[in-house]
Structure 1
């Protein structure tokens, strides 16, 4: 985090140690064996289960729940992981309330779905805690594939390619693998180092080599990878952050929400992370909510999340919005930033209210702020990339790009939602298509 965070009003250690431990404990405590059996017993095991259709990775949800109900959680885990190798992380961060659980027949009939996400976590945790890796590498093909980006899409592709017998080298710009899972998700959603633990478990398949501090344009080039490998998969995410477009946004105390979350995730002690007294977060997605909630959990007195449209247009789910409100975050809608005020460092931020068509109303709002986090979307970074579709790499349904031998998936690619579970699915599907091409 930049040095301006230590300006007046922004400081670490606002809470005592016990408070930090309580604030950043597991958002959803895991089910015990009895609770899992009770939750599994509510499933109707629908033949044409709508929950499967709603899952981006097409997990056979009724099957794995039946396996839990019959006392075989490790078999349930393999059912999950065969479709979604990062099923443990997705069970924690996937917006199940708008995907599988929203489609659940119990939700439609009673307003209370089967706890699919928590049951998925129960099964995958049970397997991974034993150190079991249920998949084996296939016979060596002699083919070598480069994966750029060790996030959900890249790791999913790498694992599936390794299963098929290919040798995979994963290049990543960061010192630790995991991508969004390691650096971009709220600490209270994945405590106790789960993200790294899942990566370590995933790598037990063998045949995957990690190379860190390797970024396109810095040490490696796409053409160089194409020359050296039989195929390339791009899972580079979105590295840039959009500008506010407001006067004074370069003042001290105005930072990117993704950097704040990454710093918090990598902190060995939450008491060392500085936070302001009056925090304003600008944006309406999951990153904005994660930043706002964590600012409050770190001890900020006032936290306001400001979004340019209505709450029904926010990318963050209703559950996430309610979570923010329950933690004391104030949500202001239909307002856009106009100016950041202060002498060198931010002291106030001015917004103008807008109507549904984003036309200014002339009414303004000024909020006291010693820290402002921007969460208004990210952009693709990199030179000599394949053809773009708007601001993302253009891909077909199997992840193929405009360049022969190059596939892409995850947030950097066009076509899918910016969700961990979608990235996993795209990495998996691209790997299967790559395998078909590599073996003829």
Structure 2
């Protein structure tokens, strides 16, 4: 009988010490040089490649795969980084099965796409391992830009602005840069401190001053940033968490899933991280999947994801859903929480069955309960405090196609702005494109 079966409640150390290393090892090990050449040879190098259209950052995928096939992975990396400076992270976390690989000609014809993500990782890792940066700064423009948020959007914007010759000050509220790449992604996807290594490599472009532990609204204001800089880019993500709106959600051991994931990512010893024996996760996105799988890997005996609509409407990809169930996670659909039961701490969660019709979601009278000593909420995040003067749309900062906000000289991108899709690759594209528009605005005659 395992430790998890013997130990009730939310406790650390459910597994033998060696199990943590095994459970949180790299989920998809990198290709070696020979494997990469073999995988690259499967590409048809389509002239009008649908994979390029499906990539939010428009990487020239056939070109970089051809470069790998001809034995020049460093050149392939430059092709990738030209469009996506966080191509190394995206190779690890991007839902390629819903984007480039889904539309790959070989996927359509054979049901087995070219392994674009693993090939991208091979190229980017090869170049980054040499501690080389593929770009140099343009001559200084004398312009100063503030970037708020050192997540994917802010990092992409800061790098492109610095490369174009501007002086950038990059602010982030947390102790470490990286945003969700550092604090919000499952540890087994980015082991070995990759998120921080990638930031350090990105900063090699020069011209970027990083200031951590500085929060907009607490330590700095948008007004002061506008006064001291020629332009401002906001990429601070989403800081609030939606409420369950269920009675008893304030009980002990009911937490936002993002906080659990962040704590796990920053833990020096995974055996010290408490986890329940019976864990319930509410939500249907990647955060729910990451929290559920990692609960299981930490030693939880039963882990259940509960989603209010049908499984086909879960925003987590089918690949990620299957990954969770392969680790023993159960997925229950068409149910919504109505009450959290317990005496101080959560003991059970009561759900109502739901019906999703033309008029929206309807709670049915029939209910059921799930045993739970730990409950994670993964039902979306909110913007938090909004600087005065910024127009909102759908609870996010309203921006046009170039990332311009309602305030002159202020741009925004990533999850905090309209069009943000909770994807690293989308945030990178928005940060990059906003930087190009900022450059045009600052250098026009």
TM-score of the superposed pair, with normalisation by structure 2 = 0.97
Cα distance in 2 for partners of 1:45, 1:370 equals: 52
Does residue 412 in structure 1 map to residue 416 in structure 2?
yes
Determine the structure 1 residue equivalent to 2:442: 438
1:173-212 alpha-carbon deviations (Å, 9 max, x no partner): 0000000000000000000000000000000000001111
What's 2:286 paired with? 286
State the 1:361 CA deviation. 2.1
User: 1:315-367: CA deviations, max 9, x gaps?
Assistant: 00000000000000000000000000001100001000011232122111101
1:382 to 372, 382, 385: 385
Give the C-alpha shift of residue 247 in structure 1.
0.3
Contact 1:50–1:100 (8 Å) recurs in 2:
yes
- Give the structure 1 partner of residue 184 of structure 2: 184
Q: Give matches, 1:162-311, under 5 Å.
A: 162-311=162-311
SS in 2 for 1:103: coil
2:365 maps to which of 362, 367, 378 = 362
SS of 2:369's partner is strand
Match of 2:399 in 1: 395
Matches within 5 A, 1:8-23: 9-23=9-23
Superposed counterparts of 1:11-160, under 5 Å: 11-160=11-160
Q: Distance in 2 between matches of 1:68 and 1:208?
A: 31
Q: Which residue of 1 aligns with 2:426?
A: 422
For the 8 Å contact 1:279–1:300, the answer to whether it is kept is yes
**Could you tell me how far 1:428 is from its partner in structure 2?**
0.2
Mapped to 1, the partners of 2:425 and 2:435 lie a distance apart of: 16
Uncovered stretches (5+) of structure 2, i.e. residues with no partner: 1-6
Q: For residues 50-97 of structure 1, give each alpha carbon's deviation from its aligned partner in whole angstroms, at most 9, with x where no partner exists.
A: 000000000000000000000000000000000000000000000000
| Structure 1 CA distance for aligned equivalents of residues 193 and 16 of structure 2 | 22
Per-residue CA deviation, residues 293-328 of structure 1 (Å, 9 max, x unaligned), is: 000000000000000001100000000000000000
CA distance in 2, matches of 1:278, 1:207: 49
Call closer, same or farther: CA 1:8–1:216 in 2, change over 3 Å.
farther
1:383 shift after superposition? 3.2
Report the count of equivalent residues.
434
* Structure 1 residue 415, shift from structure 2 partner: 1.8
Question: How far, CA to CA, are the matches of 2:34 and 2:8 in structure 1?
Answer: 51
> How many angstroms apart in 1 are the aligned matches of 2:190 and 2:272?
19
Distance in 1 between residues matched to 2:123 and 2:368, nearest whole Å: 48
Name the structure 1 match of 2:4. none
Query: Deviation at 1:8?
Result: 6.5
Do the aligned residues in 2 keep the contact of 1:216 with 1:382 (CA within 8 Å)?
A: no
Contact 2:8-2:277 at 8 Å conserved across structures: no
- The 2-side partners of 1:384 and 1:46 are apart by 46
* Runs ≥4 residues deviating over 4 A: none
How do 1:332-343 residues align onto structure 2 when only pairs under 5 Å count? 332-343=332-343
Separation in 2, partners of 1:126, 1:101: 22
Moved more, 409-418 or 65-74: 409-418
Q: Take 1:439 and 1:120, find their aligned partners in 2: how far apart are those partners?
A: 34
- Which consecutive unaligned segments of at least 5 residues does structure 1 have? 1-6
CA distance in 1, matches of 2:11, 2:420: 39
Q: How does 1:322-361 map to 2 (within 5 A)?
A: 322-357=322-357, 358-361=361-364
Whole-angstrom distance in 2 between the partners of 1:245 and 1:384: 27
Q: Distance in 2 between the 1:106 and 1:265 partners?
A: 36
Q: CA deviation at 1:416?
A: 3.6
The match for 1:4 is none
